Amino acid sequence: MTEFTPLLNSNITAMAPDKLLGFQEKVRDIPDLVRLTLGEPGFDVDERIKKAAINAVEQNRSHYSESQGERVLREAAVTYFNNTYHLNYTDERNVIVTSGVSEAINVVFNTLLNAGDGILIPEPAYGPYFSSIKLARGERITIDTATNNFKLTPQMIIEAVKNATVPVRAILMNYPTNPTGVTYSREELEALITVFKQENLWVISDEIYSVLTYNQEHVSLAELLPEQTIYINGLSKSHAMTGYRIGFILAQADVIQQMQKVHGALVFAVPTVIQDAALVALRDVQDTPLAMRDIYQHRRDFIVAQLEALDFDVVNPEGAFYVFAKLPADLGEDGDAFALKLANEGKVAVIPGSGFSDSAKAYIRISYAASDDVLKEGMARLKKYVDKLRER
C-alpha cells in the first residue's frame, strides 16, 4: 500500500495561530478562574427574541433561506440601520445577512482583495482580522496608533500608504475599537475621509460596538462616505446574541452582488430560525441594548477607577466593553508573562496586549462584559495579586 503524504495549503500552515484563542486555550483548565477575557455579554437574550426563535422552530421554519438572507430581514436591516445611524441605503439589495460579523469580515476581504493586496489596519486591533487577511491572501499593513492614545490620524494613513511596498486597496476601521474602546467624532471622521478619498481606499467599517458608545453620538462612516464604505454590524454585542451568529454587510448594490458570490460559497445561508429571531431583535427590541449600555458604562467607571488606583495607565474607553491597560512600570513590560502568572497564581484571566498588536506587549485587555459580581471578584483578585507582587 502506498503511504499517504499529507499536503496542506502552505498559506494556512504559514499562518500564525490566533493569539486571542491561543491564550484562552492556555488558561482553559485552570480551576476557579475568573474570566475577564472574552467579549461575551453577561446578559441573557431578550424574551421577545427567544420567543421568536421558539416559534420559528414550532412553525417548521426548517428550510433553506434565500442565500442573501430572508428578504423581510434584509428590509428590516435597511430600515434599522438607516434610522439609527442616518444612513441612506435604498432597499434589501444593499444587504447580506451573514453568520456573525466574523463571516462578514471574511466575505469582504475575499471580495475586495487580490492576492498580495495591502490592507491598512490601525492597531491594536481585533486579532482574528489578521488571520482573515491571511486567508484572503492579503497583506496586513500595520498602522501603530499607540503614539496618539490609540487614535488614528490622517497623517498616519498618508505615511503608511507612502511607505507601502504593495498596492494598498483598503483600510479596516473598527470603532468603538476592540481592544481600546477608542471612538471617533464626526469631525475626526471627516478629516480621515479626506485621506480615504485622496488615496482611493475601500473603507471597511466594522461598527459592531456602535450601540455601546458612551456620552456621545456614534457617527457611521456609511453616513459620511457611502460610496466607498462597506458597513458591517451585527447582533452579538448590541443584543447579547453571540451564539446566534448574526451579522450584516451593507454596501452599494453592485458591490453586494459580488460579495454575495463569496457568502453563497461559504455558508450558503444563515439558519432560517435564527433569522426570524434577528428580525424581532431589529424591529422590536431597541430598548434592551440601551439599557445594557448604561450598565456597561457603570462597569467601565468601576474598572477604570480600580486599575488607576493600582497605577495602571488607562485610556478611558469611550465605547465597547474593554479596557486596554498598560502595566505599571514596577510590574515590568511583559504582558504575556504577567497575564499567564495572573491566571495561574491570581486566578484572574485577562488577554495579553500582544494579541492585538506586536507593539502592545506591555498591555493587557480586560473585558468588562462580565456580570457585576464576576467583575468585582476579578478586580479584588487582581488587586491582591498586584499587592503581593509589590511586597516581594
Which residues of the shown chain bind ligand PLP in the complex (CB under 6 A)?
39, 100-102, 126, 174, 178, 206, 208, 234, 236, 242, 247
Compare residues 289 and 346 and give the one whose CB is closer to ligand PLP. 289
Q: How far is the CB of 18 from ligand PLP (least distance, A)?
A: 12
Q: How far is the CB of 380 from ligand PLP (least distance, A)?
A: 26
Q: How far is the CB of 309 from ligand PLP (least distance, A)?
A: 27
Compare residues 102 and 354 and give the one whose CB is closer to ligand PLP. 102
Compare residues 201 and 249 and give the one whose CB is closer to ligand PLP. 249
Compare residues 102 and 272 and give the one whose CB is closer to ligand PLP. 102
Compare residues 141 and 172 and give the one whose CB is closer to ligand PLP. 172
Compare residues 174 and 297 and give the one whose CB is closer to ligand PLP. 174
Compare residues 208 and 303 and give the one whose CB is closer to ligand PLP. 208
Q: How far is the CB of 106 from ligand PLP (least distance, A)?
A: 10
Q: How far is the CB of 69 from ligand PLP (least distance, A)?
A: 14
Residue nearest ligand PLP, Cβ-based:
100
Q: How far is the CB of 206 from ligand PLP (least distance, A)?
A: 5
Q: How far is the CB of 200 from ligand PLP (least distance, A)?
A: 25
The 3-state secondary structure of the chain reads CCCCCCCCCHHHHCCCCCHHHHHHHHCCCCCCCEECCCCCCCCCCCHHHHHHHHHHHHCCCCCCCCCCCCHHHHHHHHHHHHHHHCCCCCCHHHEEEECHHHHHHHHHHHHHCCCCCEEEEEECCCCHHHHHHHHCCCEEEEEECHHHCCCCCHHHHHHHHHHCCCCEEEEEEECCCCCCCCCCCHHHHHHHHHHHHHCCCEEEEECCCCCCECCCCCCCHHHHCCCCEEEEEECCCCCCCHHHCCEEEECCHHHHHHHHHHHHHHCCCCCHHHHHHHHHHHHHCCHHHHHHHHHHHHHHHHHHHHHHHCCCEECCCCECCEEEEECCHHHCCCHHHHHHHHHHHHCEECEEHHHCCCCCCCEEEEECCCCHHHHHHHHHHHHHHHHHHHHC
